[in-house]
Structure 1
Amino acid sequence: MKRTIATAKPLCDAVGIEMQLHDGLREINYGDWEGKTVEEVKKDYEEDYINWLTEPAWNAPTNGGETSVEIASRSSLVIAEIQEKYKSGNVLVVSHKATIRILLCSLLGIDLGRYRYRIGALAASVSIVKFDVRGPLLEVLGDRSYMDENLRNLPGT
């Protein structure tokens, strides 16, 4: 959670609010793949890797990795807690790219196995979801207009 804390802390400090950490918003658990390059995973876990690429909703990274369904379940619990605690106003949620995309798919009724191909929320982007009596409404997706143009257009981010 070091990156999420580093992202959220300046805003929390600026507005004088205490940061709250929620395990349900952590990054995907990659199991045995943690710390390995894509090339190593392809070589050492070829079948599992292909299955995960094909259907991540139901296929997890080898030995302890998480499926998209598991990530959606844990992150949705955090959102439900936030909705219960804060009936109105704005709440900043900071997490990791895959977790955010999976959570957005879950909120919007998009197939969890297609999170990589349906939600284009890049690193350091801002998305805004409005909750009302009709449910969640995605108002902004993956905005990075606040960034310097050179940073905003870096490949792979």
Structure 2
Amino acid sequence: MSLKLYFIRHGETTYSKTGGYCGILDPELTPEGLEMAEQFAQAYGSLNWTAAYVSPMKRTITTAKPLCDVAGLEMRVRDGLKEIYYGKWEGETPETVNSNYHDDYVRWLTDPGWNSPTGGEKGIDIARRSSQVIQEIQDNHQTGNVLVVSHKATIRIMLCNLLGIDIGRYRDRIMMLVGGVSIVEIGVHGPLLHCLSDRCYLDEKLRSLKGT
């Protein structure tokens, strides 16, 4: 038996609906986001779970809770799974950021691995802290199913790190919808992607919510 990592992006929030930058801001899930969490638990609760590693934000903890309750898992909360810190862009829309911080914005769009939002984190910073959590998981769990509940940018960066994709291309190469589940198996030949941002477990109404 191998180790399988189940990455899930948290359910819908007001910021994922509107497209505002939300890193250290800590919104609750919307009613639809809560439904996503419940449907995830219904679909995946019967798996033989080994552990759950969760970002400390409200939106991730609330997403993880229904499954952890069903599976009897204790959340292992890790700061390394937090979302990118957007600095002065927190709570702003891309249009406002482009207007107020144009040069920084263009540099970030060009290579977010080595350029940060104004006063925020680079992609390589996120890769460094999140990879420590992935290493902890691999050290503690050689086999089994491990849940990792995190955020849009952070999951995309973790997947790039695992799959050998340039961190600076995380925004261009990987889509990550709200509630999306991605599965990576850690086998003898290294990480193998089984699925990316899958939402087949959601009902049709919730699948229609794209989420930025």
Q: Deviations over 1:60-117 (max 9, x none)?
A: 0112x11111111111110000110111111000000111011101100001111122
Equivalence for 2:162:
107
The 2-side partners of 1:143 and 1:36 are apart by: 28
Equivalence for 1:128:
183
Matched, 1:139 2:194: yes
Structure 1 counterpart of 2:90, from 15, 34, 37: 34
Structure 1 gaps, min length 5: none
1:132 to partner: Cα distance: 1.4
The 1-side partners of 2:175 and 2:96 are apart by: 26
The 1-side partners of 2:175 and 2:184 are apart by: 15
Find the residue that maps to 2:104 and give its secondary structure: helix
Find the residue that maps to 2:185 and give its secondary structure: strand
1:39 to partner: Cα distance: 2.1
Equivalence for 1:48:
104
- RMSD between aligned alpha carbons? 1.1
1:82-97 matches, cutoff 5 A:
82-97=137-152
- Would you say the 8 A contact 2:178–2:210 is kept in 1? no
The 2-side partners of 1:35 and 1:121 are apart by: 20
Q: Which moved more, 1:67-76 or 1:33-42?
A: 33-42
Kindly report structure 1 stretches of 4+ aligned residues shifted beyond 4 Å: none
1:36 to partner: Cα distance: 1.6
1:32 to partner: Cα distance: 1.0
- Hey, which of these two has a bigger chunk of strand by percent? 2
The 2-side partners of 1:11 and 1:92 are apart by: 10
Higher relative contact order (Cα pairs below 8 Å, separated by 6+ residues)? 2
1:10-89 matches, cutoff 5 A:
10-63=66-119, 65-89=120-144
The 1-side partners of 2:168 and 2:180 are apart by: 21
Q: Which moved more, 1:17-26 or 1:144-153?
A: 144-153
The 2-side partners of 1:121 and 1:49 are apart by: 21
The 1-side partners of 2:144 and 2:83 are apart by: 26
**TM-score, normalised with respect to structure 1:** 0.95
Query: What fraction of aligned residue pairs are identical, expressed as a percent?
Result: 63
Q: Which amino acid aligns with 2:168?
A: G
Q: Which moved more, 1:110-119 or 1:78-87?
A: 110-119
The 2-side partners of 1:154 and 1:61 are apart by: 27
**TM-score, normalised with respect to structure 2:** 0.71
Structure 1 counterpart of 2:174, from 116, 119, 124: 119
Residues 104, 131 of structure 1: alpha-carbon distance in 2 compared, 3 angstrom cutoff: same
